Amino acid sequence: MERTLVLAKPDAVQRGLVGEIISRLEGTGLKLVALKMVWMDTEMARRHYGIHRGKPFFDGLVQFITSCPLVAAVFEGPKAVEIARKAMGDTDPARAPSGTIRGDLALDIGRNIVHGSDSVENAEQEISLFFKPEELFSYERQIKPWIIES
Ligand code: IDP
Ligand code: MG
């Protein structure tokens, strides 16, 4: 089953929006399989955002993401990567539609409150950066047939 990494970023922690972010993603029907608070260090941040190294916003992004603890979660389900990113909306909150997390709760691309993996491959790498295998839970939900047809 597909998994994706979700981060309620330091701005979400500061603004008291962690519960709302997790709640909106739970509401999609995706299954929460891991959750913890993490204070990223510079090395971890540079690894997580390695693809953006050299871009003008990179140093500010690393500074921001390490400035305060964040909350990391793993959600699981069919098309988890795509479903979670759709719930978050575009990277720039100004372009994110109403009804999405960023569209409703953020204003600035540099303070867009949430991260979601952008591919299944990247999700696997990102999850392994944040979580040990034993921190990912495997369990059944009785409600599953009411959320997933087969
Ligand atoms: P994503 O978070 O929607 O996947 P990416 O393009 O991967 O977007 O960028 C990673 C993060 O870098 C964004 O979520 C945002 O926090 C930050 N970022 C991206 N572009 C800019 C920018 O132009 N200015 C400031 N921060 C940016
Ligand atoms: Mg990205």
Cβ–Cβ < 8 Å for 73, 130: no
Active site residues: 115
Q: Which domain holds residue 17?
A: 2-146
Name the residue with the closest Cα to ligand 1, atom 14: 91
Distance (Å, whole) CA 92 – CA 102: 8
CA gyration radius for the chain? 15
The domain that holds 37 is classified in CATH as: 3.30.70.141
Backbone angles phi, psi at 33, to 5 degrees: -120, -5
Closest residue by CA, ligand 1 atom 6 = 91
CA-nearest residue for atom 18, ligand 1, is: 110
Q: How far is CA 135 from CA 11, 30, 71, in A?
A: 25, 17, 14
Non-local (6+) Cβ contacts of 139 within 8 A are 33
Closest among 7, 18, 142, 14 to 75, alpha carbons compared: 7
Mean pLDDT, the chain cut into blocks of 10 residues (150 residues total): 98 98 98 98 98 98 98 98 98 98 98 98 98 98 95
Residue to substitute in 91, 111, 118 for testing ligand 1 pocket (most ligand atoms within 8 angstroms of CB): 91
Ligand 1 contact via 118 beta carbon (within 6 Å):
yes
Amino acid 150: pLDDT: 87
Q: Number of folded domains in the chain?
A: 1
Answer whether 137 contacts ligand 1 (Cβ < 6 A): no
